[in-house]
Chain A
Amino acid sequence: MAKSRKVTPLRFYTSIPLVELTTQKAKNLKELKEIIETIDGSSIYFHTHHYVREHHFFSEEYPSDFAYWVAEILQEKPLGEKLAILDLRNFPTIRSLREKLLELIGSYLDKSNRIRDVLPGLEFHFRKTVSIIIPTPYQVSDLSEFRKALEKVDTYSLYYHLMEFRLRESGESNDFSAWIRTNLGKENIAKAIEDLDPYYYPLEETREKILRILARERYFDRVKEKLSSYTTATEVGKFLKSKKAFDRFKDGFQRLMGGE
């Protein structure tokens, strides 16, 4: 049994975006780069993150406005592909992301011998986001409450705790994993949530994945409890009570579930 811990409850928040126009626009890569160099960080944030926050179904293709515009509108496919594959989890700050974008566009421009303009009307318009963070009524102190709240909040809330929190804190982890690790000591659950790539899947799918992780861990706990209840009077009982038995069960279960 886990040792009793002092739990700081987790309050679920939601972060809803309002879009502000900057009136800056680029018609080619050179202009795009120049504006990225100087524009407010909240604009870089908007164009790299709003796809996952708003366009849930696109995330399988172009995860950012920059990648989409460069590949599909400007038709500079090789650069568009480089921008598309960026793993946003590797950029703990907007500054580091801005630097990477500039490096990729800069080195592409150095190698290319012409600047192509898009047709009028298809320019890249820089926008930025104002995030309005509001607490939800859901405050949780254990995994069962956590699961129930997770089912009830909107996808903006998932976005806030999984992505926006990490950027705001310039941290390695997301808010859910950090809370589960620190307050509940459930390292396996914290790690499993960290291993998800929320930038890659629609947020609804990420919600389902987290709920599955919670259900699986709950099931494992029950199995562990059941196995430990066996008597050690017999050889079979001794085996069932051992860690080996549980590990074998767990391996079999994971194979059955396809690695989930």
Chain B
Amino acid sequence: MYERLLEYRKVIGQQTLETIFRIAERLSEKKVKMVNSTAVGGGVAEILHRLVPLMNELGVETSWEVIKGGEEFFNITKAIHNSLHGKAEPLTAEMQKVFLEVNRDNAKNMSFDQDCVFIHDPQPIPLVEERGKHQAKWIWRCHIDVSSPFESVWDFIKTYVEKYDASIFSAPSFARELKIPQYQISPSIDPLSLKNREVHPREIEDLLQRYKIDPERPIITQISRFDRLKDPSGVIETYKLVKRSTDCQLVLAGGTATDDPESVEVLPHVLSHAGKDPDIHVIELPPNSDLQINVLQRASTIILQKSLKEGFALTVTEALWKKKPVVASAVGGIPLQVIHNYTGLLVHSIEGAAFKVRYLLNNPALAKKLGENGYQHVRNNFLITRHLRDYLLLLIALDHPGENVINLG
């Protein structure tokens, strides 16, 4: 019993774990369903793969279903996704029709006789049309930033959002005004996963040797897809400004996705910008490079996240978990994680990033303190166990609508 959960005891402590058990005791009769649009790939599927077994282990019977759709459907949902991020991709009446039909076809083969149904992201959002037919409470779990969407598409999606009992957003800045309650549940990392577990010093030595990175000199690293919004050029400019006065090396590591033409375009540009500087290491990581990412982060002196736009930025969470000093742009979910001067440093420009990186390289005691604080911040707020606890608390809160204090004594 509790085999998986007990593995987290050494990370979060017995007391915190016991609290999770106690909350779950209140929910032993509950049945939950999770619905999203992909079983593999992407952060949502990754989180569900970990959360669903933990909820079942706690006695909250949780099932997970993935909606099916063809190429046309997923092209439409991609357009919706882009529009919610602010890119103008209007939905024609025909597109809306296909979007709804595919969801209605899926609904015919699904049951919603649970106590609570969590619908993740916009792809399966119209399933809420089934709401009145069952007793279940319906939750829309939004993982993306919908604060500045393309309005006509948001208006279409909103008609469905407001049919739910409640919604969940990852950060306060991601939310919109809605008629239904909105909860904040941040995403999380798994401290026991390949990407975050402790590594042996030998693994660090081997990896640095493989990429010809000098372990004796400072290493500044940004891990992210080769995407313009992650500002890889800005990262190189930052490095060049720092290098004028303080010796360091730069590691820019990330993947390119074959289904993302932009990343294939950006990488050659980054390589040409890097030029022949032997201290700039542009590393193209293949899929499933979790351990390499872990090792690169742990080998770094400072982690940079100089994005122009971000989601929650779990790469920042991973870096903080490894006690690394982080210099990051104040965008998306980053300010929730990087509390300026406490868990890292927030910046607003290339010059600001360079200034702060140089400052930390020359102030190792402060860098260490920020890293320690960052680790504690993640330990308290951004681990999978906190995520699990919040989902359980929400199940309780749904039975007490409008109450600020729910006393189960």
**Which A residues contact B (CB, under 8 angstroms)?**
11, 13-14, 16, 18-21, 23, 25, 40, 42, 54-58, 61, 68, 72-73, 119, 121-123, 125, 127-136, 152-156, 168
Contact = CB atoms under 8 A, between A and B. Distances in A.
A16 B381 CA distance: 13
A133 B408 contact: yes
Interface residues of B, number: 45
Given A23-B176, A121-B331, A131 B404 contact: yes
Given A23-B178, A133-B407, A156-B19, 20 more contacts: A16-B19, A16-B389, A18-B390, A19-B183, A23-B177, A55-B339, A56-B376, A72-B341, A121-B330, A121-B335, A122-B335, A125-B172, A127-B184, A129-B404, A130-B393, A131-B405, A134-B26, A136-B22, A154-B18, A154-B19
A73 B340 contact: yes
B403 interface: yes
Contacts of A16: 19, 23, 389, 393
Nearest to B23: A134
Q: Helix, strand, loop or mixed for chain B's interface?
A: mixed
A72 B397 contact: no
Interface in B364-392: 373, 376-377, 380-381, 389-390
Contacts of A57: 373, 376-377
26 contacts: A18-B393, A18-B394, A19-B184, A21-B182, A40-B404, A55-B380, A56-B380, A58-B342, A72-B340, A73-B340, A121-B173, A121-B330, A122-B335, A127-B172, A130-B406, A131-B406, A132-B23, A132-B393, A132-B406, A132-B408, A133-B407, A134-B408, A135-B408, A136-B22, A152-B18, A156-B19
Which 8 residue pairs across A and B have the least CB separation, nearest first?
A125-B172, A154-B15, A21-B182, A19-B184, A42-B404, A18-B393, A133-B407, A132-B406
A19 B175 CA distance: 13
Contacts, number: 106
A21 B409 contact: no
Nearest to A126: B172
A130 B19 contact: no
A154 B16 contact: yes
A135 B409 contact: yes
Interface centre among A11, A20, A132, A168 (most CB of B within 10 A): A132
B373 A18 contact: no
Contacts of A42: 404
Nearest to B369: A57
Contacts of A125: 172-173
B393 A20 contact: no
Contacts of B389: 16
Contacts of A19: 183-185
A230 B303 CA distance: 67
Contact of A122 (B185, B330, B403, B408): B330
Contacts of A23: 175-178, 182
A222 to B, nearest CB: 29
B405 A133 contact: yes
A13 B403 contact: no
B348 A119 contact: yes
B5 to A, nearest CB: 15
B396 interface: yes
Nearest to B185: A19
Given A54-B380, A152-B15, A134 B394 contact: no
B308 to A, nearest CB: 11
B181 interface: yes
A178 to B, nearest CB: 17
B342 A61 contact: yes
Nearest to A118: B330
Given A56-B376, A121-B330, A121-B335, A21 B175 contact: yes
Interface centre among B181, B182, B373 (most CB of A within 10 A): B182
A152 B13 CA distance: 11
B312 to A, nearest CB: 14
B184 A20 contact: yes
Interface string B176-210: 11100111110000000000000000000000000
Nearest to A24: B177
A119 B185 CA distance: 25
A153 B18 CA distance: 9
Given A54-B380, A122-B335, A130-B406, A21 B169 contact: yes
B321 to A, nearest CB: 15
Contacts of A61: 342
Interface centre among B18, B22, B172, B389 (most CB of A within 10 A): B172
B404 A128 contact: yes
Contacts of B403: 130
B401 to A, nearest CB: 10
B397 A130 contact: yes
A119 B347 CA distance: 11
A58 B376 CA distance: 10
Contacts of B405: 130-131, 133, 168
Nearest to A154: B15
A209 to B, nearest CB: 17
Contacts of B409: 11, 13, 133-135
Nearest to A54: B380
Nearest to A41: B404
Contacts of A56: 376, 380
